[in-house]
Structure 1
Amino acid sequence: MENIKVIIWGLGAMGSGVARTLLQKKGIDIVGAIDMGEKVGKPLFEVINQSHPHKINIPVGTTDDYIKANQADVVIICTDSYVKGNFEKIKRVLENKMNVISSAEEMAYPKAQNPELAAEIDRLAKENGVSVLGTGINPGHIMDLLVLVMTGALVDVKQITSKRINSLSPFGKAVMEEQGIGLTPEAFNQRKAAGEMAGHVGFEESVHMMADALGVQLDALTTEMQPIITEVDRKSPYGEAKAGQVAGVDMSAKGMVDGKEFFTLQHPQQIEPEQVGVETGDYVIIDGSPNVNLVNTPEIEGGLGTIAMLVNMIPKIINAEAGLKTMIDLPIPHAILGDFRDQVNEAKRPFK
């Protein structure tokens, strides 16, 4: 069996991390890397600042260089957070009969906010005999899939609280912009009032994913966003906040079912939280039969967690039936320590 072929579209913090990880794995080859500007034409190993003497060092190229019919088994897209921003890229990949894994938060459950585009992606995927998945650490795992896995041991669920206190430091410039890192409180509130402040992207997706999986009907879903103002200077690899500026966002969401608060999501996230004594962690608290009180601290690091999810879901999206998939449609994620080819149904591979 030939090695699994992967193209990476976007070599920012996440895409570069995916490349570094894949180059350490067995039975898998990077056959394309797409970016723009000064990265184009440079060897991939130079862009990711690593050397791999036993792997092919391909040049970073454009979409025209690498998005061609049956060039790879999977294209991993790490560009932005939104369905609309990813749609044309996904469409082009599907029309060239390759599977897609996207890191875009809205792609984790695209019908939550973009039902028409979700339906079109599903149609294109089925028409071309391939599959599409959006995933990451959150949404995609910690605040939704992990919650659902824990409810598997319950006979009844009355209320769910999912809380993640995490560091934004591993994430790239796009996330820093979305979170308003480095803004003054006044500028943050102005952008928020104008609807230009994204904050955490994914609450709608997480809540709708859980509601649909559990079979409950949402009456309403509300979200709230408040800036986290730092009292000390902070600097991460991709963002910086001086004292008095925005170092993160405190996000929360409430999902109502039968007139009661059924889903409570709390998600304060900031750069360099340890500088101000903030302990990170992941928490699943379920009022049910029996009760659940799951605590993991410190947090599962967001950057590494997202990279791992994108990589570990490669065999599962290859094996999937054609169409748009979510994390509740596929087998649960797990680390792959052996040869990736052993996890794949050869008959499902578009690249042979």
Structure 2
Amino acid sequence: MKILQVGMGPLGQKISEFIEQRSGLQIVGAIDTNPQLIGSDLGSLNTKLTTPIKVVESIKHVDDKPDVIILTTTSTMESITPQILELLDLELPIVSTCEELSYPWICSPDLSKQIDDKARKKGVAVLGVGVNPGFLMDALPSFLTAVCQSVESIKVDRVQDASQRRLPFQKKIGAGLSQDEFAKRKSDGSLRHVGLTESIQFIATALGLELDRVTDEISPLISENGIKTKDLNVEPNFCTGVRQIGTGYLNGKEIIKLNFIAGVGIESSYDSIEVAGNPNIKSTIEGGVNGDIATCAITVNAIYSIVRANPGLRTVHDVPLISRMNGKA
């Protein structure tokens, strides 16, 4: 299958690397609006790539017709929707890493309908996917309930040592900021794990529940003595990361709780899911899942599902099961 990539920042470049390692997949176009990237061949951006494809600013400069689009440009529905609507004119299925697109129906119903209507009209599917949201804190816990006769509550903990992640992620969670700077960025909405509310709504829908309300609380992780990593030097009493707690309530009772904790200097990473029900289930991934690797992998793996999905705006809840494919779909 021939792949058109739109968005060639660090995530897009890593996805290119993963695509090139797969038989049966070929990059035929790379688009970005960043003047510093336009005209560069992918091999100059990522030394692990051998493809001669150059980054261009428009589909007009892509010679080979693609089969699928991978879109890695932004995190919000407000900014991704115009891009998707324009790309849908190509009548190609789209896989995007936009976090809010992972389950947008509750938080962005109007924008979701615009995308869904046009995708159905064009006869293709659009999918928002990633490791979180899109898998660890929503799809995976939902799937674990498949063996439950009853479910009373779900609790998910994702704890990450951010020093193992790329620098943009460390900055995204506020590592290295003063407490005042953290508070300002929290206030303007630029510092948060995007998608926690969407993950809660995903789980609720999978369980057939209509929640009363959802809360999303953010607080900083603070270093007493300071931390130095290969990427950052965090001063004493400065922020090392973020703690974000999302809670979904039903009939006034806490039924879904997602704890997202990411910071440099965290001693041990892990992902844990607890389902209270019949039977009770607890599943823990010791060491956690590396978000950078997993996001790129699930995006590439989703290619095989999106081409078989029904037209419209889709989530991982209603596309063919995404798995590591070793051959053609």
Measured against the shorter chain, the TM-score band is: over 0.9
Query: Against the structure 1 CA distance between its residues 119 and 172, is the aligned structure 2 distance closer, same or farther, given a 3 Å change threshold?
Result: farther
Map of 1:91 onto structure 2: 85
Alignment of 1:111-190 (within 5 A): 111-169=105-163, 170-171=165-166, 173=168, 175-190=169-184
Map of 1:280 onto structure 2: 269
User: Aligned to 1:57, which of 49, 52, 55?
Assistant: 52
Is the contact between residue 309 and residue 320 of structure 2 (CA under 8 Å) also seen in structure 1?
A: no
Offset, 1:225 = 0.5
User: Aligned to 1:22, which of 13, 19, 23?
Assistant: 19
User: Aligned to 1:262, which of 255, 258, 267?
Assistant: 255
State the alpha-carbon separation in 1 of the partners of residues 298 and 210 from structure 2: 28
Offset, 1:240 = 5.7
Which deviates further from its counterpart, 183-192 or 316-325? 183-192
User: Aligned to 2:315, which of 326, 329, 337?
Assistant: 326
Structure 1, residues 139-171: CA drift from partner, whole Å, max 9, x if none? 100011110111000000001101110233424
Is the contact between residue 282 and residue 296 of structure 1 (CA under 8 Å) also seen in structure 2?
A: yes
Query: Against the structure 1 CA distance between its residues 213 and 261, is the aligned structure 2 distance closer, same or farther, given a 3 Å change threshold?
Result: same
Map of 1:31 onto structure 2: 28
Query: Against the structure 1 CA distance between its residues 65 and 228, is the aligned structure 2 distance closer, same or farther, given a 3 Å change threshold?
Result: farther
State the TM-score, normalizing by the size of structure 2: 0.93
Offset, 1:242 = 3.5
State the alpha-carbon separation in 1 of the partners of residues 166 and 149 from structure 2: 38
Number of aligned residue pairs: 326
Offset, 1:288 = 0.3
- Cα RMSD between the aligned structures? 1.9
State the one-letter code of the partner of 1:8. Q
Offset, 1:177 = 4.7
Unpaired segments of 5 or more residues in structure 1? 344-352
Map of 2:227 onto structure 1: 233
Is the contact between residue 16 and residue 27 of structure 2 (CA under 8 Å) also seen in structure 1?
A: yes
Offset, 1:315 = 1.0
Misfit runs of 4+, over 2 Å:
63-68, 167-173, 175-182, 194-198, 230-237, 239-245
State the one-letter code of the partner of 1:258. N
Structure 1, residues 193-226: CA drift from partner, whole Å, max 9, x if none? x333431111111011111111011011111111
Is the contact between residue 99 and residue 130 of structure 1 (CA under 8 Å) also seen in structure 2?
A: yes
State the alpha-carbon separation in 2 of the partners of residues 286 and 255 from structure 1: 14
Unpaired segments of 5 or more residues in structure 2? none
State the alpha-carbon separation in 1 of the partners of residues 292 and 300 from structure 2: 12
User: Aligned to 2:195, which of 174, 198, 202?
Assistant: 202
State the one-letter code of the partner of 1:253. G
Offset, 1:183 = 1.6
State the alpha-carbon separation in 1 of the partners of residues 222 and 61 from structure 2: 43
Structure 2 SS opposite 1:50: coil
Query: Against the structure 1 CA distance between its residues 242 and 148, is the aligned structure 2 distance closer, same or farther, given a 3 Å change threshold?
Result: same
Structure 2 SS opposite 1:247: strand
State the one-letter code of the partner of 1:317. I
Structure 2 SS opposite 1:20: helix
Which deviates further from its counterpart, 178-187 or 154-163? 178-187
State the alpha-carbon separation in 2 of the partners of residues 171 and 81 from structure 1: 17
Map of 1:316 onto structure 2: 305
Query: Against the structure 1 CA distance between its residues 40 and 222, is the aligned structure 2 distance closer, same or farther, given a 3 Å change threshold?
Result: same
State the alpha-carbon separation in 2 of the partners of residues 198 and 244 from structure 1: 18
State the alpha-carbon separation in 2 of the partners of residues 83 and 236 from structure 1: 34
Structure 1, residues 56-84: CA drift from partner, whole Å, max 9, x if none? 4111111244579x931211111121111
Q: Does 1:301 align with 2:290?
A: yes
Which deviates further from its counterpart, 95-104 or 42-51? 42-51
Is the contact between residue 67 and residue 96 of structure 1 (CA under 8 Å) also seen in structure 2?
A: no
